[in-house]
Structure 1
C-alpha cells in the first residue's frame, strides 16, 4: 500500500541530494580553499552515494516485497518464495536508511562547522 510513496520519496531524495551537492560544489569553487569546506564537500559526496544506495535498496525492497510488483511480474513471485531473500532485503533497506540518516547528520554538521569556522580570516 505504501510502496509508491516510498519509491517516490527515495528517488526524490536522490534527485534533491544531487541538486544540493551541485549547488555546494559551485559554492565551494567560489570560496577560498579551506579544510572545513573541503571536509564538508567530501561528506556531501558521500551523502550522494548514501542516497543512491537507499534508493536502490528501496527499489529492491518494493520490487521483491510489494504486492503490486509481484502480482504484475510472475518471475518475482518465484524470487520472493526464496525464504531468506525477504528478510535480507528488509535488513538491507534498514541498513541503507540508517547510513543515509547518519551521513545526512555528518554532512550537516561539517557544513555548520565550516560556516561557523574562521575560514574567512585565513
Structure 2
C-alpha cells in the first residue's frame, strides 16, 4: 500500500482533490460567464485542470490499494465507483478547459500561417458559444462529482 509518512496516501492525496476540483470548477464557470476576466483566469484554470488529472489518478490508485486492506463493504464499493467516475471526469474536464482556453485565445495558440484555418475555426462565434456551454457543464459536473465522491468517502469512513 502506498504510504506517506506512515499514513495511507489516499487519505492525504484526497485533500488536494477535494480542494482543487471545486476551485477549478468555479474558475471554469467564471471563465465561461465573465469574458472580461478570461485573461486573468486562463493560467490558473489551465494549471488546475492539468494538475487534477494525475492527482485524481494517483489518488484513485492509492484508494484502490487502501480498499484491498479493508473488509468488503457496499459503502466502500460505491465510493470506489464514484472515484473511478471522478477520475474519468477529470480527464474530460481537462479537455473542456483546453477547448475553453483555445476558443477564447485562438490568436495566441495558433500563430502559423498554415494553421490559419484552425485559428479561424476557433475564432468562430459558434465555437465560442459551445466552449461557454461546455465550460459551464464541465464546471458544474466537476464540482458535483467532487462533492458526491467526497461524501461517499466520508460516509465509508464515518458512517451515516
Q: Does 1:109 align with 2:151?
A: yes
- Please report the TM-score for the alignment, with normalisation by the length of structure 1: 0.86
What is the rounded CA distance, in whole Å, between the counterparts of 1:81 and 1:8 in structure 2? Answer: 23
- The residue aligned with 2:30 is none
One of 103, 108, 114 as aligned partner of 1:68: 108
**What is the number of equivalent residue pairs in this alignment?**
118
Aligned mate of 1:28, from 61, 67, 80: 67
Is the Cα–Cα contact under 8 Å of residues 64 and 70 in structure 1 kept in the other structure?
no
Report matched runs for 1:1-122 at 5 Å.
1=39, 2-66=41-105, 67-71=107-111, 74-117=116-159
What stretches of structure 1 of length at least 5 have no aligned partner? none
> Normalising by the residue count of structure 2, what TM-score does the alignment of the two structures yield?
0.67
CA deviations on 1:29-87 (whole Å, 9 max, x unpaired) are 11111101001000000111111111010111112222421446533321034321111
Q: Is the 8 Å Cα contact of residues 64 and 76 (structure 1) preserved in structure 2?
A: no
CA contact (8 A) 1:40 1:114 kept: yes
RMSD between superposed Cα atoms in Å: 1.8
User: How far, CA to CA, are the matches of 1:4 and 1:68 in structure 2?
Assistant: 13
